[in-house]
Amino acid sequence: MKICGIEIKGTEAVICLLSYQDGLFTIPDCRVRKVDFSKENKTSDIRYFQSTFAKLTEDYKINKVIIKERPLKGKFAGGGLGFKMESAIQLISSLNVELMSATALKESLKRNPVTVSFGETGLKIFQQNAFEIAYAAHMNEVYGSGE
């Protein structure tokens, strides 16, 4: 199974592809590390972002997309454009999209810690959260979410 972990930061969807098969993880090469959203906030920009993301997931044969959930209010609340990006991804009919809360992410990583240091993955440091989301989603698929 191939999962795309996403962390939405500002006007960027930071991504990490992670594949799990026969007990082994692989990080497939990907042509992008993040998908940008225009700050102009036009309908055409939303459609372009959505079609770009849909094409990416189609090209890399992504089975599931996991987005790190952001609070709706409070100090760490997500911005309006970020929620538009999230909904644009969720509305791609060919995708299986789920949200993962920060609490669920922490619990999953506690139950199933990552066995290699992040530096050994070859990913950029800004992709660490997206990697952890994809990893936790795989662990929840294999071992259950613990709920």
Q: List pLDDT tens digits, range 103-114.
A: 999 999 999 999
Please indicate, yes or no, whether the overall pTM of this predicted structure exceeds 0.75.
Answer: yes
The closest of 63, 54, 52, 49 to 18, measured between CA atoms, is 63
Q: What was the pLDDT predicted at 146?
A: 59
CB 34 within 8 A of CB 10: no
